[in-house]
Amino acid sequence: MNKSKIIRSAAACLLAAAIVAPAAYAAEPAQPQAEEQTGKLPEAKGHFHEGHKKHHREHALGHEQYRLAKLRYMAEYFGIAVEGKSAEQLKSELKEAKKKDPAKWEAFKAEHRAKRLEMLRKAAKDYGLETEGRTAEQLREDIRSYQRSKDTANDSRR
């Protein structure tokens, strides 16, 4: 008899919480749409997680700008006009250009692989690592290993 009373009480509490919780959220005022349209982010509400969410929204906005800049650079390489076009339009036109001229696409990729290799070589030299005869993947792994060993050395001093 005592167990059934506890179970009924728990069920009544859950039911009451299910009714009250949505009503509490419905009572909150909606945020104005003008803030999001201007690109400004709403203020965080003083809790760590809220600030952390704000950080991710800012990062996402930065990523979209980076993506658009990258698409514009690629479009200019292929001779595609970029003014007034969205990222999706540029993406579809680039896809067509790749199919139309695969040799130019391969040249574009090779050029950027070479740029990345030079950047990795410069970083490896800055860290005092050997770069002769190393591929981009090997250099990246060497740099990561060096940075990890440096981080663990700093952690052990604490």
The CA distance from 103 to 107, in Å, is: 6
pLDDT for 34 = 46
pLDDT for 62 = 81
- State the average pLDDT for the chain: 79
- Whose tokens are 């981080």? That residue is 151
Q: Indicate if the pLDDT at residue 38 is higher than 50.
A: no
Domain ranges of the chain: 47-100, 102-158
Secondary structure of residue 41 in the 3-state scheme: coil
pLDDT tens for 42-85 read 554 444 555 555 556 666 668 888 888 899 999 999 999 999 99
Tell me the residue length of the chain: 158
- Whose tokens are 């950047």? That residue is 119
- Least trusted range by pLDDT, from 1-10, 11-20, 108-117, 125-134: 11-20
Q: Indicate if the pLDDT at residue 33 is higher than 70.
A: no
Q: Indicate if the pLDDT at residue 36 is higher than 80.
A: no
Burial class for 72, CB neighbours closer than 10 Å (0-12, 13-18, 19+): middle
| Segment (H or E) for 62 | helix 48-77
* pTM (two decimals): 0.53
- Least trusted range by pLDDT, from 43-47, 55-59, 118-122, 131-135: 43-47
The percentage of residues in the chain with a pLDDT greater than 70, rounded to a whole number, is: 66
